[in-house]
Amino acid sequence: MENNPLPMTADFCFTLPAWVQQLTADTGRRKFLGDEEKMEWVLELGRYNIEDGGGPFAAAVFSLDHGTLVAAGVNRVMASNCSVLHAEICAIMLAQQQLGSYTLAPEPGEESPKGYELVTSTEPCAMCLGAIPWAGIKRLVCGARDADARAIGFDEGDKPERWTEKLEQRSIAVQCDVCRIEATALLKEYLNSNGKIYNG
């Protein structure tokens, strides 16, 4: 049997829809004043993504000291034929590219450590949970719960019990249930629009 290897490329890139870039540009240097304001903006991304035929998940990386947006992401699994392109992964990747650094962690020895937070419409799945400490995120803010995503059929993977405590042991602060009602409604909206449960 002839062995025909698939062509390999050195670079992998993904694109976000133009409307994400437009919404991101429109924020300018806006200061988001609190968790709810940030979450409401992230949920708006999720609504647009559903309308655009994507999954119901959105996320964004914000500066902890200024409250400004660094990068946003939406679920691109189906659009890119790539199972790892969850909203959190997209937001983290774009933030690191934007900042020119493989890590979002504060520089060692800074007198007044800065850092970045990840705001996500739904608690992270097993994959995204693993990416958070490696990315250097200092704070995680979640909307809908893991159980809310599972309730509409998504497989969130095998996560450790008391995962929030495990992140906090790594000095990553966690805030759950921010706008949970609205975030859960977004998941239900996706289900009711016959959105595909691509990993159920």
Among all chains, which residue has been given the structure tokens 């008391």? 162
Catalytic residue among 36, 37, 51, 88: 88
Dihedral, CA of residue 171, residue 177, residue 182 and residue 183, to nearest 10? 50
Calculate Rg over the CA atoms of the chain. Answer: 17
Contact 42, 143 (CB under 8 A): yes
Residues composing the chain: 200
Using CB atoms within 10 Å of the CB of residue 106, give its burial: 0 to 12 exposed, 13 to 18 middle, 19+ buried: middle
User: Which residues does 82 contact at the CB level (< 8 Å), separation at least 6?
Assistant: 14, 76
Contact 23, 72 (CB under 8 A): yes
- Is 88 one of the annotated active-site residues of the chain? yes
Query: In the chain, how long is the greatest CA-to-CA distance?
Result: 63
Supply 179's token pair: 């706008």
- Residues annotated as catalytic are 88
